């Protein structure tokens, strides 16, 4: 199959081996001073080795006052040059073109990191940020100079080009957006004035690096849900001005609380903001890069119809660094699919996490660690449980040369992934199950379905190592009368083994309970969700939680947090509400989603009876899919 995304392309003077661009995504793999680390170099080298044509290194702050993330890469000082040279070199040695994004956080910078008040065109705080100090004209000229110095640093480090970050409500975009820029001088007012700072930055970079040094802009094609945010028409005007000023291309993104790439739809839709790039393509002479949840299949359509020149992919390259190579080799079934869960983005917002992580790629952030080598001694490995943790362990162990057998008590593989793919907006989960199944076959794992694992049966196999991935079972909350009401579990509802009446009360308001409620509501049920905690779905990541809760409310689901469970009786659940009232919730079916209890029975029974015994995933502690995958991979890779 001929793929347009694999065709060579000339981006001005830069010969690209294909049209695949790695979009800049902050990794937090730099050190606390913004210096390049071995982890950061390996992260980009892996994706360069994977065949990507152009790699745009993540947002690199050009001034300490503009730092927006902990452990963000810096390009503000000559002392950073040695590491940046190494970084450019490891990208280019594998045939990729290396660019780096120049970034100033503006009002999105954090004083907790910089020790300074953030700055912005106007003293208007972003809903997620602090009150900034308004920049004087002198300050603006200093910021322009900082961009120019950073570009010189990039050129001296050996980067082939720079991308000027003018999107996502960072400093340049704050000048462009009417919602953030209320100035009345030459930097405010009409779109030409609001784009003036960007144009001055382009001019200063060109003057400092030479007219032949490639640079381009990243800009919002539109701001969504930002009040007086930038319209598509204004975005096109900004791009035209940038083109006239010397921008080689435009990388078209978007921003705002209701941006389609942040929102989920009932069925996964790729390339949801590609129409913005198409509009730019029709109005400009310079090449256009489209971005935003683009799959390889969507990339082909966009390129075939001429909507874009280059395709920028971010999250999918975190999941699968070998994307280009596998496409070229026709190994589509071996491509790790991005499941659009936004976990990678959420890790950047978590105060206790440093370093971006992925639910489906356990190697992300570990590329600097040696890859699993062939086993010195071949072992007979038995994996019990065909969920994500078990499949990851079996695949990793088999890849090292071990003889691996996997037992699954059900009729098919997948475990919790099967149920996770059922609720609305979760269909991408099924892709990951198919990928894991394909890897089991590729690595020669002997899979036995409908196989009960007893201690006697395991001992009869005489394995050298046993990996238990037996999962968890639903917890039964302590509610008087609950047993007599014959409740069903959320898992049974989602896998179709349990039916419900028209009126349903879900006990438990975390992710599983709320997703089950949404599934039932879409099937015409009247649903109420209760939980003891004060808020619903607290473990849903911040990228999706707001939209998730909005969907539940729009579908008429009643959410009752902060309740006290008093009694379950036939046809009703009696609860106390935070305001001291007693409510009788009439129901035809009670659904349990009040947490899980690890299944440790086999582990306890096998301790001391097999040479090597491991447990991974929910049978250790019920957590997320990524935890099971990482644990399974780690155990399998070290057996």
Q: Say what the pLDDT of residue 266 is.
A: 58
257 — pLDDT class (breaks 50, 70, 90):
confident
Residues 6+ apart with CB under 8 A from 486: none
Q: Say what the pLDDT of residue 356 is.
A: 95
Q: Is 80 in contact with 35 (CB distance < 8 Å)? A: yes
Residue 378, token pair as written in the block: 């071949």
Tell the burial category of 586 from Cβ atoms under 10 Å away from its Cβ (0-12, 13-18, 19+). exposed
Output 584-588 pairs: Cβ under 8 A, ≥24 positions apart.
Answer: 585/505, 585/528, 585/530, 585/560, 586/503, 587/501, 587/503, 587/504, 587/505, 587/528, 588/500, 588/501, 588/502, 588/503, 588/504
Residue 425 gets the label, from left (phi > 0), alpha (psi -120 to 50) or beta, of: left
Q: Is the pLDDT reported for residue 1 higher than 60?
A: no
pTM comes to: 0.95
pLDDT (tens digit per residue) in 613-636: 999 999 999 999 999 999 999 999
CA distance 274 to 277: 5
pLDDT (tens digit per residue) in 39-93: 999 999 999 999 999 999 999 999 999 999 999 999 999 999 999 999 999 999 9
Q: Say what the pLDDT of residue 123 is.
A: 98
Q: Say what the pLDDT of residue 511 is.
A: 95
- Mean pLDDT across 19-33: 97
pLDDT (tens digit per residue) in 533-569: 999 999 998 888 988 999 999 999 999 999 999 999 9
What are the start-end ranges of the E strands in 106-255? Answer: 119-120, 133-134, 161-166, 215-223, 250-255
Q: Is the pLDDT reported for residue 129 higher than 90?
A: no
Residues 6+ apart with CB under 8 A from 421: 427, 428, 429, 430, 433
Q: From the CB of residue 619, how many other CB atoms can be counted at a distance below 10 Å?
A: 26
CA proximity to 90, closest of 368, 374, 397 = 368
pLDDT (tens digit per residue) in 492-532: 999 999 999 999 999 999 999 999 999 999 999 999 999 99
CA distance 514 to 507: 10
Q: What are phi and psi of 528, to 5 degrees?
A: -125, 135
Q: Say what the pLDDT of residue 598 is.
A: 96
Q: Say what the pLDDT of residue 102 is.
A: 98
450 — pLDDT class (breaks 50, 70, 90):
very high
- Mean pLDDT across 342-371: 90
CA proximity to 372, closest of 344, 337, 397 = 397
Range in 215-219, 245-249, 544-548 with the lowest mean pLDDT: 544-548
Please name the fold of domain 380-474+597-638: Rossmann fold (3.40.50)
β partners of residue 598: 472
Q: Say what the pLDDT of residue 225 is.
A: 85
pLDDT (tens digit per residue) in 468-492: 999 999 999 999 999 999 999 999 9
pLDDT (tens digit per residue) in 360-417: 999 999 999 999 999 999 999 999 999 999 999 999 999 999 999 999 999 999 999 9
pLDDT (tens digit per residue) in 32-52: 999 999 999 999 999 999 999
Q: Say what the pLDDT of residue 212 is.
A: 96
226 — pLDDT class (breaks 50, 70, 90):
confident
Which 3 state secondary structure label does DSSP give 296? helix
Q: Where are the domains of the chain?
A: 4-349, 380-474+597-638, 483-594
* Averaged pLDDT score across all residues of the chain: 95
CA distance 105 to 69: 9
227 — pLDDT class (breaks 50, 70, 90):
confident
What is the Cα Rg of the chain in Å?
Answer: 27
Q: Say what the pLDDT of residue 118 is.
A: 98
What percentage of the chain reaches a pLDDT higher than 70? 99
Considering only the top CATH level, what class is 4-349?
alpha beta
269 — pLDDT class (breaks 50, 70, 90):
confident
Q: Say what the pLDDT of residue 268 is.
A: 77
Range in 259-268, 314-323, 356-365, 375-384 with the lowest mean pLDDT: 259-268
Domain 483-594: homologous superfamily in CATH: FAD/NAD(P)-binding domain (3.50.50.60)
Note the Cα 614 to chain centre separation in Å: 29
Q: Say what the pLDDT of residue 262 is.
A: 67
19 — pLDDT class (breaks 50, 70, 90):
very high
Q: Say what the pLDDT of residue 114 is.
A: 97
């Amino acid at each position: 199959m001929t793929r347009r995304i694999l065709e060579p392309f000339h981006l001005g003077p830069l010969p690209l081996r294909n049209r695949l661009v790695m979009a800049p995504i902050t990794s937090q793999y730099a050190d606390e001073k913004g210096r390049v680390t071995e982890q950061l170099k390996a992260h980009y080298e892996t994706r360069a080795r994977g065949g990507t044509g152009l790699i745009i290194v993540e947002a690199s702050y050009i001034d300490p006052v503009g730092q927006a993330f902990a452990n963000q890469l810096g390009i503000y000082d000559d002392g950073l040059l040695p590491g940046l040279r190494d970084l450019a070199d490891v990208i280019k040695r594998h045939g990729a073109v290396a660019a780096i994004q120049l970034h100033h956080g503006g009002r999105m910078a954090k004083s907790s990191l910089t020790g300074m008040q953030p700055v912005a065109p106007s003293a208007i705080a972003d809903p997620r940020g602090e009150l900034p100090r308004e920049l004087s004209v002198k300050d603006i000229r200093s910021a322009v100079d900082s961009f120019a110095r950073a570009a010189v640093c990039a050129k001296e480090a050996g980067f082939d080009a720079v991308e000027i970050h003018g999107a996502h409500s960072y400093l340049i975009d704050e000048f462009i957006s009417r919602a953030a820029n209320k100035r009345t001088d030459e930097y405010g007012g009409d779109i030409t004035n609001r784009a003036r700072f960007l144009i001055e930055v382009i001019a200063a970079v060109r003057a400092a690096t030479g007219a032949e040094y490639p640079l381009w802009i990243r800009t919002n094609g539109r701001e969504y849900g930002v009040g007086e945010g930038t319209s598509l028409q204004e975005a096109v005007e900004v791009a035209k001005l940038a083109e006239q000023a010397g921008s080689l291309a435009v990388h078209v993104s978007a921003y705002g609380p209701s941006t389609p790439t942040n929102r989920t739809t009932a069925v996964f839709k790729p390339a949801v903001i590609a129409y913005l790039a198409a509009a730019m393509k029709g109005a400009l002479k310079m090449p256009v890069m489209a971005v935003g949840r683009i799959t390889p299949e969507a990339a082909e359509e966009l390129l075939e119809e001429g909507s874009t020149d280059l395709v920028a992919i971010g999250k999918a390259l975190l999941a699968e660094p070998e994307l280009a190579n596998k496409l070229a080799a026709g190994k589509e079934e071996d491509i790790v699919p991005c499941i659009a869960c936004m976990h990678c983005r959420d890790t950047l917002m978590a105060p206790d996490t440093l370093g971006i992580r992925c639910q489906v790629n356990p190697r992300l952030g570990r590329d600097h660690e040696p890859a699993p080598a062939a086993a010195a001694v071949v072992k007979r490995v038995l994996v019990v449980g065909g969920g994500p943790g078990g499949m990851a362990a079996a695949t990793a162990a088999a890849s090292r040369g071990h003889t691996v057998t996997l037992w699954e008590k059900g009729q098919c593989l997948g475990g919790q992934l099967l149920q996770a793919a059922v609720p609305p907006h979760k269909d991408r989960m099924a892709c990951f199950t198919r990928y894991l199944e394909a890897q089991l076959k590729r690595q020669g794992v002997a899979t036995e379905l409908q196989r009960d694992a007893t201690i006697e049966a395991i001992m009869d196999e005489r394995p050298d190592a046993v990996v238990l991935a037996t999962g968890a079972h639903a917890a039964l909350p302590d509610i008087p009368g609950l047993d007599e009401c014959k409740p069903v579990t959320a898992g049974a509802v989602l896998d179709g083994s349990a039916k419900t009446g028209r009126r349903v009360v879900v006990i438990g308001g975390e992710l599983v309970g709320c997703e089950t409620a949404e599934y039932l509501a879409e099937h015409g049920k009247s649903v109420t969700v209760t939980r003891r905690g004060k808020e619903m779905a607290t473990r849903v990541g911040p990228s999706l939680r707001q939209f998730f809760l909005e969907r539940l409310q729009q579908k008429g689901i009643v959410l009752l947090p902060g309740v006290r469970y008093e009694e379950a009786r036939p046809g009703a659940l009696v609860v106390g509400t935070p305001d001291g009232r007693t409510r009788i919730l009439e129901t035809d079916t009670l659904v349990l989603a009040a947490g899980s209890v690890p299944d440790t029975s086999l582990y306890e029974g096998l301790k001391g009876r097999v040479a090597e015994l491991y447990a991974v995933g929910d049978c250790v502690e019920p957590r997320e899919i990524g935890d099971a995958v990482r644990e399974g991979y780690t155990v399998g890779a070290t057996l």
